[in-house]
Structure 1
Amino acid sequence: MYKAVKKIFFILGLGMAIPAVAANYTIGTGSQSGTYYPLGGTLAKIWSDNIPDFNMRAEVTAASVENIIKVATKKQLVGIAMGNVAQKAWDGNKPFPRQMPTEVLFALYPNVVQFIVPADSDIHTIEDLKGKKVSLGAPGSGTRVSSVNILNALGISESDIRSQSLNYTATTSAIANGQIDAGVIVGSLGVGAITELALTRNIRILSFSDQDLKKIQAANPSYQPLKAPQDSYKNVPAFTAPAVWNVLVVNKAMDKKLAYQLTKIAFENIDKIRQAIGVAKFMTIDNMTRLSGVPLHPGAQQYYKEHHQ
């Protein structure tokens, strides 16, 4: 026994270290049928493969609000969130109880606010939603924050409709089965949940009028009009809707070197990310600062400046 212990100390004395255990982290995403989840999974793999002793996995969540709270409380290392929700967190506005200690790593891609109805529905404008059964998104999701904000900007409150609180999958299922009159999904153009629904059901996506879009921008400057071409989904006519950029959020206390490393590795592997996720075509160094109201983390800012001398 003594000899065995003595041998161990001798080995350690020669500088042979016990292998370090890799740190495990999560990136907060959203529903598995949305874009956040596969994008988060791709980023997690890229980072895990290229950062020593670093393991990350994608976590299914209720998306933006939950992700920001978990990042703020250090229960997640990174989270994906809609820009308008990240702005509310930075400002300390509802649904957040106070200012959240979160900053942006970099912007990702624009999210489109898509109000879905059956193709033969008598709902043709946002005003027509009054009195109807409408899914506004899961509790704690950016979809719900966006849908409520947009309705409010147009003078429509939750009490004017029969609101439901369903996630992506439940929303499209309820539309397919005739359980609701309309549903909101805020996601990339071509998001999986709507793509799958359009393959089996005839649907439309409501188009916002120029007047509606001006009202929305006046109340929420982070939204920009986006014109979706015909057949963005199977047999769905062209439509115009408000869009807002998604961002990666991190805790402002994150180590500067780690934030720099995460940013650098993501952009050095951007071709792999784009091969896996189509909307990653919007992920560029120039687009890192698309959300002007929330600062980049100093580590990300350093990387940005190195490419914008």
Structure 2
Amino acid sequence: MIYHWKTNIIKRHFIHSLILIIPILLGSCTTQKTEVSISSGSNGSGYQKISSQIKLSANSIGQIEVTDNYDSQGSQQNLERLLNREVDFAIVQLDVASEPMREGKVKTLLVLTQEYLHIVTKDDNDIKTLADLQGKRVIIGAEGSGIYFTAKRIFEASNINVNEVKSNEKRLEKLINSEIDAFVYVGPLATSEKFQKELHQAPRLRFIPINPSLINYLTIQFPESYQGKIIPQGTYKPLPQLPNQDLLTISTPGALITRPDVNKRKVSLLTWAIISNFRQYSPFYPELASQQNASLLSEGLIYIHPGAQQVFNDGDPRVAWQRYLQENKPLQAAFIMLVSTSSLGFLISWWRKRKQNNLLKANLQTIPELRQLLDNNPQKATEEIENLRQKYRLMLIDGKVSPEVYEQIEKMTQIFSEQCKRWQEKQKELSYNQILQLMDQWEQQMPEHFLSKYEQLESSHNQYKEMLKSGKLDLQTYLQMIQLTFVFSNSFSLNTAKDNKNNFSN
């Protein structure tokens, strides 16, 4: 009856603990999908393709759903929609978003591509530098696009006035027919199918380099927006080479951005969805294909949303409740009190006690095994017991063994360690006594049994060599034994020579 009464009490405590704990866990591990919206680009554009990949990434983690029904002209229109709260996220060139970032209106999540500045002209004209475009007819992209924004900034920064053609339509055809002198394109390196097709259709084209002084100015004025880059020789055409040499230009990151007030969990989930599938973005960011991790996705970012930063620091946000418990000291204290006053606490305490008892049992079994080794190899036994003591010291430091159990184990191992040392000293003493006994016998029986005593010394020498090999003697003791046998050998040789001399004289 008493047994059943105690069992029922434990059951009630256990159920009560579960009732308190389960809502905490379930509240943190909800499976309800979070919906987010993204403004990307026109159908078939690079931004639209990146957005499609983001959808696939979101589906792979199962807790977030992405909608993208926002046909756009590009970066400027995407940024405007984000600021007007029409969408949660936008894909934008960071030079377009630089001013709102500095004002704290937008935050970054990830870099999804690097967009290079290309200024394209015909190979047979006299336009060789950026300054040669002064007064020329140049297509600078459609208003609302990132190309338009970057082109305007480049020409304003370099004090070059061009006849602006605000369009992207039939730009190659117009260049070939000399209706324009050049056009500007900003996009990932050699990944835009449309741009690649245009370059292969044209007979001979040239890229115009950006001079280093302009690059220095832009990277100092807008460090969050621009980097100096090289377009390698032959990137777009092997024959004739396009460009015909390594070309200096600038790039700006194409990034996923959001507002500071967007829910932190939304940001964390979307960031993790992309990071956990980072290789899938290599068509838009080729360098990712050879990377071991997703570090390039955050390279150069300054104004990072806290939700994205949390993922960079801690990883998967779906287990954030565990980190929250680790970092929240009051919650830890409440949880410990709950555990210690419930049957769950009783079970944990029982498990820990059992684990400590198992350590004691293991130690009790190990020492008799080492004691058997002591008779044949005291040096090895000493090494093993010291290693065992060191192991338990480290377990104490790591908290894997309680101080009480460690103290018991240390007493047992220390006693055995002292036995090993005494046994080694005893063996040394026996070895010395054996040598001294041989010396006495040698002196008493000299010269009648020179040969037999010499053979005994040699036998002892071999015996000590075997004891050294088996670990029964340490090196210092062995060397002392060898020295003694060497002295006896010399004494024997001298006496033998003396005896031979006397015999010869007689």
TM class by shorter chain equals 0.7 to 0.9
Contact 1:41 1:58 in 2 (8 A): no
More strand by proportion, 1 or 2? 1
Identify the residue that residue 112 of structure 2 maps to in structure 1.
Answer: 108
Contact 1:45 1:57 in 2 (8 A): no
Distance of aligned partners of 1:220 and 1:193 in 2 relative to their CA distance in 1, 3 Å threshold = farther
Contact 1:125 1:206 in 2 (8 A): yes
Identify the residue that residue 18 of structure 1 maps to in structure 2.
Answer: none
- Cα offset, 1:213, TM superposition: 2.5
Distance of aligned partners of 1:69 and 1:240 in 2 relative to their CA distance in 1, 3 Å threshold = same
Q: Structure 2 CA distance, aligned partners of 1:56 and 1:153?
A: 38
Contact 1:28 1:80 in 2 (8 A): yes
Identify the residue that residue 40 of structure 1 maps to in structure 2.
Answer: 51
Distance of aligned partners of 1:246 and 1:278 in 2 relative to their CA distance in 1, 3 Å threshold = closer
Q: How many residues align structurally?
A: 274
Identify the residue that residue 74 of structure 1 maps to in structure 2.
Answer: 85
Identify the residue that residue 193 of structure 1 maps to in structure 2.
Answer: 194
Q: Which amino acid aligns with 2:233?
A: Q
Deviation per CA, 1:19-67: give whole Å up to 9, x if none. Answer: xx98875422235565322122211232245434724236431211111
Q: Structure 2 CA distance, aligned partners of 1:24 and 1:120?
A: 53
Identify the residue that residue 225 of structure 1 maps to in structure 2.
Answer: 228
Q: Structure 2 CA distance, aligned partners of 1:161 and 1:264?
A: 44
Identify the residue that residue 143 of structure 1 maps to in structure 2.
Answer: 147
- Cα offset, 1:277, TM superposition: 3.9
Deviating more after overlay: 40-49 vs 78-87: 40-49
* 2:249 counterpart SS class: strand
Q: Which amino acid aligns with 2:210?
A: F
Report % sequence identity: 21
Which residue of the other structure, out of 206, 209, 212, is the alignment partner of 1:210?
212
Which residue of the other structure, out of 227, 250, 272, is the alignment partner of 1:242?
250
Q: Which amino acid aligns with 1:135?
A: I
Contact 2:34 2:266 in 1 (8 A): no
More helix by proportion, 1 or 2? 2
The alignment's TM-score, normalised by the length of structure 2, stands at 0.50
Computed over aligned residues only, the root mean square deviation of the Cα atoms, in angstroms, reads 2.7
- 1:56-135 alignment, distance < 5 Å: 56-57=67-68, 59-92=70-103, 101-135=105-139
The alignment's TM-score, normalised by the length of structure 1, stands at 0.78
Q: Structure 1 CA distance, aligned partners of 2:40 and 2:129?
A: 31
Q: Structure 1 CA distance, aligned partners of 2:176 and 2:34?
A: 43
* 2:256 counterpart SS class: strand
- Cα offset, 1:259, TM superposition: 0.8
Distance of aligned partners of 1:214 and 1:278 in 2 relative to their CA distance in 1, 3 Å threshold = closer
State the structure with more CA Rg: 2
Structure 2 unaligned regions, length at least 5 = 1-31, 316-506
Contact 1:194 1:233 in 2 (8 A): no
Deviation per CA, 1:267-289: give whole Å up to 9, x if none. Answer: 11223333x54537289642344
Q: Which amino acid aligns with 1:199?
A: H
Identify the residue that residue 165 of structure 1 maps to in structure 2.
Answer: 166
- 1:6-45 alignment, distance < 5 Å: 26-32=37-43, 34-45=45-56
Identify the residue that residue 280 of structure 2 maps to in structure 1.
Answer: 272
- 1:247-258 alignment, distance < 5 Å: 247-258=255-266
Deviation per CA, 1:186-228: give whole Å up to 9, x if none. Answer: 1111133321111100221111222332333344333221111
* 1:84 counterpart SS class: coil
Distance of aligned partners of 1:58 and 1:118 in 2 relative to their CA distance in 1, 3 Å threshold = farther
Distance of aligned partners of 1:139 and 1:223 in 2 relative to their CA distance in 1, 3 Å threshold = same
Identify the residue that residue 15 of structure 1 maps to in structure 2.
Answer: none
* 1:85 counterpart SS class: coil
Higher relative contact order (CA 8 A, sep 6+): 1
- Cα offset, 1:80, TM superposition: 1.0
